[in-house]
A and B are shown apart, each in its own frame.
Chain A
Amino acid sequence: MCLAIPGKVIEVFQDRGLRMARVDFGGTVKKACLEQLPEAVLGDYVLVHVGFALSVVDPAEAERTYRFLEELGQLDEIHMPEGPA
């Protein structure tokens, strides 16, 4: 139910007084309501749940978290035995 996935805003338009977007989820394009996400613009990645955009993905935060995780235990790796392949 709380399933929500990030997709790229590829078009913004108005429909019956609501700000809507077409969002590309890795090739599958669906409509989403942007009404409560005024800061979202073309090219942004937005998190969509039941046709409703909840949040813009923050690329700087994503980068920071991921780099931190990638660097985790880097010192340990030097001591790890080589695998068979």
Chain B
Amino acid sequence: MKYLDEYRDGRVAAKILSEIERVTTRAWTLMEVCGGQTHSIVKHGVDRMLPSQIELVHGPGCPVCVTPLEQIDKAHAIARRPGVTFTSFGDMLRVPGSHTDLLRLKSEGADVRIVYAPLDAVRLAQQHPDREVVFFAIGFETTAPANALAVTQAAALGIKNFSMLVSHVLVPPAIAAVLQSPGNRVQGFLGPGHVCTVMGYREYEALAAHFQVPIVITGFEPVDLLDGVLRTVRLLEAGEVELQNQYSRIVTRTGNVAAQRLVWSAFEVCDRKWRGIGTIPKSGLRLRYELQEYDAERRFDVGAMETLEPAACISGQILRGLKKPHDCPAFGSACTPERPLGATMVSAEGACAAYFAYGRHRQEATR
């Protein structure tokens, strides 16, 4: 496929790799922010190709993984109600809450459905006026325009039996939180290419300048990722702090302004709890006041939830880049994609699921 295959070309990858080897003189720790990048890195073995001095730490950019347990328990409470059709992206279905998951609720008779696009949930509400259709609106800035479109369409068409359970998160506050955490080892970032497609990268220029850390906005194919590593290492080796845009075929400095306008017409910034990390100020989105009637939390009056996180799961430390999946005693034994203890084992973008899928059950003896 055009714009994909050429970025998987082994010949080009080998050239970039030898250039990385040539410029690297000491140890560097980089973080890829986005879970999609983590998945691609593990799938293609990008981390294993790199010189041993370069360590890639996996970031918190997996929306399914960081959706707080309270919101997942609320989703389950709403999905259980008679008359409710609960819709969600597919990878949310197996995520364990305190007591159950959406797939199990479906098997017990709840009307839980997977949608590909948020607009499909609005169409479903139109087709079934006798049902209360609820959409689980999760995601980062990449997904925010599509979710915003769903709720603004419902409002424009006067569809009253549609609502959203919102659990949106924002990347820049999470990068700041990583850099401010006491045990931080990250010296440079591969920035989230698709988030920046929507938002542009001005916020990341500010982060790079404020924290004096190089950030390279990077794509998702192996050649993109290696190019992102090369650019970041070059900056680190030269002692330069800069924002670079590796993904310039897709990302512009200002992003998609029309999509941003749509996002702000539906959402406003709020404090948000991240699963395994805790509350990060101004790190989330909630529905604007004018759209409150579409807020499923209000419509179904799901108040404060008492949550129960499995003690064995170390996903919080994995999401903060402090541990790797194979450091967890439950990884691959008590915790598998079929019977996950934590969300990082569920989503394809979760580090645990990626390590499991591509046979990373043990730390390599030599690197």
Contacts and interface: CB of A to CB of B under 8 A. Distances in A.
Contacts of B138: 1
B194 A73 contact: no
A66 B16 CA distance: 11
Given A36-B145, A61-B248, A2 B140 contact: yes
Q: Which of B146, B256, B349 gathers most chain A CB within 10 Å?
A: B146
B258 A36 contact: yes
Given A1-B140, A37-B258, A51-B116, A6 B146 contact: no
B256 A65 contact: no
Contacts of A17: 156
Interface string A1-35: 11111101000000011100000011000110101
A49 B4 contact: no
Given A52-B145, A55-B250, A38 B194 contact: no
B206 interface: no
B145 A54 contact: yes
A52 B118 CA distance: 9
B4 A62 contact: no
A76 B36 contact: no
A1 to B, nearest CB: 4
A42 B319 CA distance: 41
A72 B15 contact: yes
A1 B116 CA distance: 11
> Which secondary structure dominates where chain A touches chain B?
mixed
Contacts of A61: 248-249
Taking residues whose C-beta sits less than 8 angstroms from the other chain, chain B's interface range is 35 or more
B116 A36 contact: no
A54 B2 contact: no
B36 A70 contact: no
Contact of A52 (B117, B246, B349): B117
A73 B35 CA distance: 30
B308 interface: no
User: Which of A2, A35, A50, A58 has the most C-beta atoms of chain B within 10 angstroms of its own C-beta?
Assistant: A2
B194 A51 contact: no
Nearest to B258: A36
A1 B64 contact: yes
Contacts of B35: 1-2
Given A1-B91, A72-B15, A50 B258 contact: no
Given A1-B62, A73-B18, A57 B249 contact: yes
B168 to A, nearest CB: 11
A29 B291 CA distance: 33
Contact of A66 (B6, B120, B250): B6
Given A1-B62, A1-B140, A25-B1, A38 B153 contact: no
* 6 pairs of A and B residues whose beta carbons are closest in the complex: A51-B117, A52-B146, A62-B249, A26-B1, A36-B259, A36-B258
Interface of A: 1-6, 8, 16-18, 25-26, 30-31, 33, 35-38, 45, 47, 49-52, 54-55, 57-59, 61-62, 64-66, 69-70, 72-73, 76
11 contacts: A1-B140, A1-B143, A2-B139, A2-B194, A30-B116, A33-B119, A47-B194, A51-B117, A54-B256, A61-B249, A64-B248
